Structure 1
């Protein structure tokens, strides 16, 4: 049976970076069916909503979903009655039950000088941010009047346990076997429940993994001053959104960071969603200069976590590393390489 991949080009530079990624996918997976659908702002323009029921159903039938980018000033609004592209992302995560977002952060020596931090600070950094994706303030009840507004942040023990388990299991595969659980337990009741639940799970099932607790403000500082201190970071939705984007800058460009959003692993497993963490960059859309490397690395995560093709994932990641070692630099990395030239460099590195 053919492998079925749903692709969502989205907005801005999305179609430009997705097209060569699909070519790479077909190079690694011989018997693959690619099914493309509109999503995000493009779907708002076509259907009045960022995610249609038909697209969600297609994603549920897929083996994995590959998303490029969504959003742009065209659809920015503070009117709660109008659709926004980001609502498609939230709907997709909720509809597929994708509760765990994985964002690996590994600055490459070839790009140390592109980072805003000194190389001695980022040298040797290799961390994974595990962000809870379907709970917390983003999905809580929202109210708004002319003079007040509120957003409810709520978590259950079950939601905390399953994301903490994902982090502990990931840490068992690292050399350091360490989890940093990030919360705000000195202020928030949700964080106190978070810490209590993480501790209980650690004691019951993962005592072989080192566990530390870090307040979110301290974690933000440590990511800049001592990123090597982290191995696996696990945190709730809002904190994870902010910290993972901060960590992205360790690599020199947010254009270098991939992500995987995963759900149920039991039979039948939930199809994962794989996407770069950068935005749609409408200011450079259509110019052929977008950096496709985070999209390529997201494909590597799809191969690894979505299709269990570890050797193929490693081959693609190694090809990106090699191309950069050989001097590939797109505009966001201080160079002049176009999207097509970056793609050609990675293909040449694959051999």
Structure 2
């Protein structure tokens, strides 16, 4: 019988045979031929910050760039080249700017016709530029006056006229001279019959050739009978004791409206309202102030410069003129409304009743 060989006792595994070294091949594989992708570049290392200079050194560096070479401030080193270069550059820029500014000033002076500016400012008031318009000559003023005269309203001729009465000498000359002296060129006068005021308004309108009854006006002297003790006659137009008031015959003066106007508008409520009471002045007072008697009062060539108040309704008349007394009972004056306002500067206000039938007739 064959004997079966017993297995040998288990022993440690034998080490693997050493790997064979690859044989060098002249052929290069595709994988090894590929060029590897470049690795991302790393950020360069930050330069090391130099230690910050002390504040005194920084101030010295900044100051040195601005100061001239021979700075005596005690901070700049004498003869610093950087300071000298900066100073020279700054001076050159400043000189260039000054030259440019002076050139622009000279050009502006040339355009305005002015003399070149001196180095030292002049003490007197500078001359006006040549571009200012010169003052109007006498010929230009005369032309302007003629143009205004051409625009003046034409006052119609009267239908009834009479010869001058014996006591009428010099009346026209006095009135006309004052009107012309003040620049009023559009006016008309007329002597009326002595019975003029015995006729009604319709007849008077026909006599003077007026367009409407509203063109017939009257001048009356009004007195503030309760004027404050500070009021000195007619010296102050805004606080006068007397006023010449021009209203239409077809309207009636409203004393309350007139009082409110003088109190609030002219007087600016400086004194109490109890110090205003507007009433028709006595005839002798009116004659003393104006130089004219009743029915002849006119705010032209008056004896004293009494302030004038004009009813606003007269400005609304068309055509633009109105009739009033002319310095004599039988002498009447018509004047261009706008020229009268420009020449005599009356205060214009609402001083009549809205209802023509209301109020009292002060004439």
Q: TM-score, normalised by structure 1?
A: 0.30
Greater strand proportion: 1
Greater helix proportion: 1
| More relative contact order, 1 or 2 (CA 8 Å, 6+ apart) | 1
